[in-house]
Amino acid sequence: MKNLLAAAALLLISIPSFADLISITSEDGTPISGANVMIGNSINDPFEGNQFTSDSNGNITVPNQWKSTLPITISAYGYVTQTHLDALPVARNFSLSKAELPETLELGGMTDGYGRLRRDGKLDVGLVMPTFTRKDLLSFDISSVISPETDTLSIAGRSFEVPSNIAFPNQRERYFIPFTLNKPQYRTFSRKLGPQQFVASHAQFPVKRVIDKIRRGDSILDVINDFTFKGGGLVTANLSSDKTSENIMVNEFTYDQEMTVQGSSFDRNQMMLSIAVSQDDGLLYPTDLKFIDAGATETLSTYDNGQPRFIASMLTNRPQNDVIIVDEFQSRPVSLTESFASILGTQIKENSEVEPLVEGLGQMSIVIQPESAQGQAPQFLSLVAKPSVEDNSLMLTPPATNDSVIPAMTLIVYSSIEEVQSGEIKIEKRTRLWELATSGWISRLDLPEVEIENENASTYRRWEVIYLGLDRQELMDEGLDDITHITRNFLDLK
């Protein structure tokens, strides 16, 4: 079996061609000059002069004083600080992730390509979201699928708030009385500059069945499986200003194939979400998603573009207070924001303010299965406890051991969290400040003495622990693209 230290470096470490050099690059391979590098746990420990600065080519020379495994911390302006806790004194490349922008960039435009929409008892919608990478799955957030920002939709003279990345093409349907929908526009958001790929999916749902469920108090968890995904389209947008416009077709490809997913065994207070994932030159995008009952079988829509497909399944805790729906017989109007609230991890309070329901939802286990494993119930790693802080150390609880999964890596992410009000919803705005990685699954991490900038009195801090595993049967290169199991939890320091 290959050395698992390779997996510990899967946060983007590779071997360069220069035998005595450490190179610092961005994720796209651009050298980073002026990066600060510290070898050891603190300044001048374990040797004098253990701090270095990368040259114009992004390189530093491996120092002679570095004799054994030590932490190496790398920081550069505009990038997330990285620490690799068990680095060896050998030539290698460290690739830094760009830090999130302080401001949010908006991509908006029209969705089109739905065809002629007849009155058929089904509502047609477009769902626009960014594509993502395997690394993005480490910090998967359902708000990347359903936007917490809202737009106003008018129906029969009444106004409703809906997630801004959902578009409603012009159509006329009936629920006791006829009504017309016409909001083909979408808005989605990013905190990254430059070219990014987005996908738009065309979905339908039966009008009467879904509205009946919502009126009787069901949440979006209970209606998402009524959605049928028909097809989609991709677009690359260059986000270079606060607002960028790009129209997207939803009929570039048709979801005319299926993959089968089997529900695992899990407690009644938990829920399982499975997503069919396609890829386009390494960028991933969902083609269908369903909540799966324990032991049940569901089919997910997909299509064949000649590239590998897989199923990503998530196990997390079910919100204790899914949602409160108020209908037309009560004193205040229905808000569709509220009907989407539970999937965003929120609850409605009496004063109509919606707050993040982070308790429990931060606890998540993810399994990535290749298409060849469809129909097999995912074997989740156990959900893990929150990390705790003792002096300058993090105390962690690894998942239970599993004979079919190799413990590959422990990743710790330190972030600042800002809550921003958007209509009735408080949006959680996360900025990664520091990533720490080590091989295997650990139960204690002694933190190096590293100064982290971006202290802001209006934010609070979060420590997130992410355990990564490799399926023994699917093991190939032991790199990030082969990670099959993830389990995580976080601790907020307010």
Look at residue 358 and tell me whether its pLDDT is greater than 50: no
Cβ partners under 8 Å of residue 393, min gap 6: 444, 445, 446, 447
Q: What is the pLDDT of residues 227-244, one digit of tens each?
A: 999 999 999 999 988 899
More confident residue, 314 or 224: 314
pLDDT of residue 252: 96
Q: Among 5-19, 260-274, 313-327, name the most confident range.
A: 260-274
Q: What is the pLDDT of residues 193-228, one digit of tens each?
A: 899 999 999 999 999 998 888 777 776 667 889 999
pLDDT band at 1 (very low <50, low <70, confident <90, very high): very low
pLDDT band at 394 (very low <50, low <70, confident <90, very high): very high
Q: What is the pLDDT of residues 96-138, one digit of tens each?
A: 999 988 888 999 999 999 999 999 999 999 999 999 888 887 7
Residue 296 carries which DSSP code? Answer: -
The structure tokens listed for 444 are: 């204690």
The structure tokens listed for 478 are: 């032991």
Residues of the chain with CATH 2.60.40.1120: 5-96
Q: Among 3-17, 181-195, 328-342, name the most confident range.
A: 181-195
SS3 459: coil
Q: What is the pLDDT of residues 58-97, one digit of tens each?
A: 999 999 999 999 999 999 999 999 999 999 999 999 999 9
The CATH number of 5-96 is: 2.60.40.1120
Q: What is the mean pLDDT of residues 164-189?
A: 92
SS3 124: strand
Confirm if 222 and 209 have CB atoms less than 8 A apart: no
Confirm if 245 and 108 have CB atoms less than 8 A apart: yes
pLDDT of residue 191: 87
Please give the single-letter amino acid code of residue 68: S
Confirm if 286 and 262 have CB atoms less than 8 A apart: no
Q: What is the pLDDT of residues 241-260, one digit of tens each?
A: 889 999 999 999 999 999 99
Q: What is the mean pLDDT of residues 434-451?
A: 95
Cα atoms in the 13 Å half-sphere on the side-chain side of 133:
9
Determine the Cα–Cα distance for residues 138 and 143; give it in Å rounded to an integer. 14
Closest listed residue to residue 123, CA positions, set 73, 165, 81, 183 = 183
Determine the Cα–Cα distance for residues 91 and 61; give it in Å rounded to an integer. 9
pTM here is 0.86
Place of tokens 């064949």: 304
Q: What is the mean pLDDT of residues 178-197?
A: 91
- Residue 463 phi, psi dihedral angles, 5° rounding: -105, 125
Look at residue 352 and tell me whether its pLDDT is greater than 80: no
pLDDT band at 456 (very low <50, low <70, confident <90, very high): low
- List helix spans (H) across 242-307: none
